[in-house]
Each structure stands twice: as C-alpha cells, then as structure tokens.
Amino acid sequence: MTSNPLHFFLSWPIRKKLLFLFVMLLLIVAWSTWSLQNFVFKEYDEKMHQESSKVLRMMTLQIENELRSLDDLSFNLITDPYIQELLFEVEEGESRYEQYVMAEQLRVRMLDLGDYRQYSPYIYVYDRFGTEYSVGMNPISLTPLEYSIVAAKAEQAGGSSVWLPLLNDHDGITLARQIRSYRHLSLSPLGTLAMHVNLDQMVQEAKLILGSQETNFYIRGQNTLYSDVSQELEHEIEEALLATKGYAIVKREEEKYFVTKYTSKDFGWHYYILTSYDSIFERIQQVKNLVFFLFVLLFLLMLSILHWFSNKMTNPIEQLLSQMKHLQQGSFKGDVHIYPNDEIGQLHKEFQVMGMKIKTLLADNYSKQLSIKESQYKALQAQINPHFMNNTLQAINWSAKLSGQKQISSMVESLGFLLRNAMQMDEALVSLRDEMETVSHYMNIQSMRFEERLSFYFEIDDRCLNAFVPKLSIQPLVENAVIHVLEQSMAECTIQVRAEERNDSIFISVIDNGPGVPINLMEAIQRGEVTPKGTGIGLANIDERIQLLFGPEYGIRIGKRVEGAEIKIILPMRRLEDEVNV
C-alpha cells in the first residue's frame, strides 16, 4: 500500500472513484449552501437589528420627550418665586392657622403649575423640617426612610434633577430636586421636590403607538428604572451585549430573545427591547428544516442514481476485463452481449475483433509450430553429413600426423575448426578473442596456399579481447581482402587487423595493400543500389546484422586511404565481464 494519497486514490476501482468524487461534490455544495444560508441569516439579523433599533429609538424619543417635559415642570416648581416665598413664610409663621393657610396656598400653586400632568400623578414638596405638602389623586406619603433617601440624593445633585426608582410598590420612578433660595442669591436649601413619574404608563403607550405590544422592554440607569423581564434575564442580556455591536440573541428557559440596545445621550440611560426570536424565526426555521430534509432526500436520490450510473459505466469494463482473462487463459469464446455505440461499446467490438484474430493467429501458430518441429527433425537428420565430414577430417588429420605430413595436418585441423564454427550458429555474439581465433585458422589455410605472397598480422588492444562482436563478422572481411588482392593479381598481399577502444565504442579495421575499393561503389553496395559479384552481399549482410543488434549509429564504414583498402566495423563496447556482473 502506497503512502501517497494520490496513488492510493488512483488505485481504487472506477466505481469507487466516481462515488467518492460525487460525494465530495455534494459535500462542497452542502457546505456552500450552509455558508450562504448563514450569510443570509446574518444579514437578516442585521436588518432586524436595524428595524429594532429604529423602533427603540422612536420609543426612547417619545419617552424622553415626556421626561423632559416633567423635568421642565420640576424646574419651574423649584424656581417659582411664589412657592419659594411661601416656603419662607411657612418657616416663619407663628400660629398653626397661619401655617395651614400658607400650606393650602402652596398646594394651590403646585396644582396651577402642575397642570394635572397625566404621567405625574403625585407631586411632593418638603420644607426644611421635613413637612410634606402633596397634590394629586390619592397621593401616598413617603416613609421617613424613603424621604431621607430622596432628600440625600437631591442634596447630592445640588439642585439638578435626579431620577430614582420607587421604594414602594407603585410602578414608576421618582424625580427629585433640592429647592434652593434665590433670595439674595444665597442658594440656601428651602426643601425638597419629589415627583412620581408613571414610567410604566409611558412605556405601554409608546408600545401601543408603535405596535410593539408583544415586545419586552427595560430601562437601566445607575439602577433598573423599568423592567418587564426577570433580573436573571437582565444579567444575561448585559453580559451577552458586552461583546457585540448593539444586538444579541439570548436564550432563557428554552426561549430565545432577540435583544437590541440603545444608549441615550441626554439621560445616559440604556434602553433594551426584547423580541421573541422563536416567534419571528419560526417560519424561517420550518423552511430551514424543510430545506435540510429535501437536501438529504436529494442527496440519497443522487447517490442512488450515481450508483446505478456507475454500474452501467463499470459493468461493461469489468466484463471486458473478464474476457481479457479468458483470452489470457486461452478460453476465449467471444461475447454475445449487445453494447451501446459509445466508447465502451466500441472498445468491446474492437476487442472482439482482436480476440478472434488472436484466436486465428494462435491456430495458425500451432500449425506453424508443428511444421517447425518437422523441419527441426529433418535438420537433425541433415546434420549427419556435416558430422560425417568432421569425422572424416579427423581421420585424415591422424593419417597425416602418422605419415609425418605436419602441413596437411595443420590445414585439416583449421578446416575442421572452421566447419565446427559454421555449424554452431546458436550464438549471435561472440568475444573478439574467439572471432580472431576463427580468422587465425582461416589465415592458416590461406598462408599454406599462397605461401610468401600472403602476410598477416594484427594489433588488438587487450581491453578489446573480451568485447562482444557479431559472429563471423571479421572473417568475411579478411576473406574479401584475400580474394580482391591475391586471386586477381600476382602481387604480394599484406593484411592487418586492428582493434581499439574510443569513447565507449570499439573500432575494428581490416586493412590491405591491394588496388583499393572505390568509395562510391561501396556506398552504393551499402544502399543496395548495386548488386556486386563476389562478397559484396556479405558486406551488406554484416552491416545489416550490426544495425539490427546495436542500432543505426553502428555498422561498417569505408576508410579513405592512398593505397589499399580499409574496412571499419564500429560497435558499442560491451565486455563479457560487464554482462556477468549485471
């Protein structure tokens, strides 16, 4: 098993590859769809945040307009000269009756300035001694503890308005201011103003006007000023909004809320609006579930279709492989199935034609093998005569030795060697040493025939003796030199054989001192343009054998000399010991 994933994948069957690729494509489509869906819902959340922020700002604007109106009213009350004068007189009044009359005048003035504001049902004024003067419908007096907290907060504000959550069970908040004297710009404290603000009524009317009755809402300053959600949910919302840009999705008790936050620049309060996430996205979630179900169904359907399609694609290939195995085993019977006229069908048809041809060739080859066996039998019979001739030469050799005819014995031995060498044609390549031994025996016979007219010597590099050469490639060239020089004239003949190694090649030259050979004639013989007499065909055959064995860059070359002829054989350097090591 290879460690390369690509090679591992390529080793899979085609059917498995198709299924894998299709599943990967489906997963890519699913991931793209999921990413696009998340992007769309994220954009929808952002759009919803923008709409919620718009509604929240409108609610905030409406509420804070009313709060500013009440704040202006509180400023008018604490700066009213008549109220300040009455507070001085109340302090300086001696009889209870005078104090009662002044207290009633103070309440009347508070009613005149208060103008019966709907969001402020109770208005309280306390003098420096803590005496309460209240107006409104069924006002509820503050307890001493509540009064002390309100007075302390108002004193800390130094005349500015301060908004406090109510300490009693009533809904709303308290607007408190310290009343300071403007007489002689002394700013001495005269008392405390406290106004009950019905914040719950403001919020409900703002929801009604904007059509947001189903939303939850809460306001937080330094403390929670208004809330229609639990304290636990408030904490979770504030933590969730710390890491966001103004909106978040908060889950509480199996219900999710879409929360938007807005901070008022004038009051510094934080306004939160909560919308049920499930009610908004219920239809969208249903669509998501439907899309998911349809995608899974489509995935299974496409997987089934691909499985069917891959079977249709790979079954003919598997059948073709099965037929190839039958053909390899020699049991090819052909295929009777009808395949479509596509590439695979064409492959089946071509294989059927090829199979039938191979079957025919096998039958023909079997017949030829029988003929060859018969020819070999006849050839064995024909070898009786060469063996008889060899045995006869051996008898002549022994007779010559017994009678003291050494020259005849030497010629007979050389002739016997040449005859045996000609009979052993099972090896196409022999060593240069063996080939030169054949040349030596041939020259031994010719030397006895021509005596002093023939001189022969060779210069062989020792590195070339074990080089491979085609069998009977040098001897015909030597024979050709003898025929052209000695048999056609009475001149003396000198024949030289040289062998050397150059650039991983071996160069063998046969040189004589005869009349020479025309260059153009030899080239014509090599190209087959001339059919010469004598040994010209032998040269062409040797050249052809060399090129078949080693390639067209090797073969016979004709050398240029002033006197005589030079025939060169160029072969690759392949030594016997190199072949043994390999």
Domain-embedded: residue 567: yes
Do 495 and 571 have their domain in common? yes
CA nearest to 344, candidates 34, 14, 120, 95: 14
How far CA 191 is from CA of 113, 124, 335, 372, 531, in Å, comes to 18, 10, 116, 140, 146
Chain Cα centroid distance, residue 450: 84
Q: If we measure between CA atoms, which residue out of 30, 40, 31 comes closest to residue 281?
A: 40
Mean pLDDT of 344-360: 74
Strand, coil or helix: what is 274?
A: strand
Please check whether residues 373 and 469 belong to one and the same domain.
no
Which of the pair, 377 or 515, is modelled with greater confidence? Answer: 515
Number of domains in the chain: 3
In a domain, 17, yes or no: no
Residue 452 lies in a domain: yes
Domain stop point among 139, 167, 201: 201
Residue 265 — pLDDT band, cuts 50, 70, 90?
A: confident
- Name, in order, each residue with C-beta under 8 angstroms of 557's C-beta and a sequence gap of 6 or more: 567, 568, 569, 570
Please report the pLDDT score of residue 582 as a whole number.
44
Say whether both 432 and 575 belong to one domain.
yes
Short-list 213, 248, 245, 250, CA closest to 232 = 250
On the CB side of 350, CA atoms within 13 Å amount to: 7
> What is the side-by-side order of every strand in the sheet holding 132-136?
132-136, 122-127, 189-197, 173-180, 162-165
pLDDT in tens, 35-80: 887 777 777 767 766 777 777 778 888 888 888 888 888 888 888 8
pLDDT at 271 over 90: no
Q: Is residue 236 part of a domain?
A: no
In the DSSP assignment, the letter for residue 119 is: T
pLDDT at residue 438 tops 80: yes
Of 103-107, 264-268, 488-492, least confident by mean pLDDT is: 488-492
Q: Is residue 154 part of a domain?
A: yes
CB of 456 closer than 8 Å to CB of 485: no
Query: Are the CB atoms for 225 and 165 separated by under 8 Å?
Result: yes
**Tokens found for residue 96:** 């209870």
CB 406 within 8 A of CB 429: no
| Residue 121 falls inside a structural domain | yes
> Does residue 473 share a domain with residue 358?
no
Contacts of 2 (CB under 8 A, 6+ apart): 8, 11
- Detail the DSSP E strand segments found in 210-246: 216-220, 224-227
CATH, residue 102: 3.30.450.20
Q: What value does the mean pLDDT take over residues 405-429? A: 71
CATH code at 519? 3.30.565.10
3-state secondary structure of 117: coil
Do 434 and 562 lie in a common domain? Answer: yes
Distances (CA, A) of 137 to 108, 120, 123: 14, 10, 10
**Strand-strand pairing, 493-502 and 454-460:** parallel
| Strand arrangement of the beta sheet that strand 493-502 belongs to | 454-460, 493-502, 505-512, 565-572, 555-559
- Indicate whether 190 belongs to any domain: yes
Q: What are the tens digits of pLDDT across the range 308-340?
A: 877 777 777 777 777 777 777 666 666 656 666
- Residue at 431: amino acid letter: S
Task: Note down the domain range covering 362.
Answer: 332-381
Answer whether residue 520 is part of any domain.
yes
Residue 497 — very low, low, confident or very high, per pLDDT cuts 50/70/90?
very high
Can you tell me the distance from the alpha carbon of 553 to that of 539, in angstroms, rounded to the nearest whole number? 17
Instruction: Among 172, 201, 230, give the residue marking a domain's end.
Output: 201
> 519-527 and 536-550 helices cross at what angle (nearest 10)?
60
Provide the pLDDT for residue 536: 46
Q: Which of 201, 235, 251 is the last residue of a domain?
A: 201
Closest C-alpha to 568, from 514, 521, 505, 509: 509
Q: Are residues 376 and 513 in the same domain?
A: no
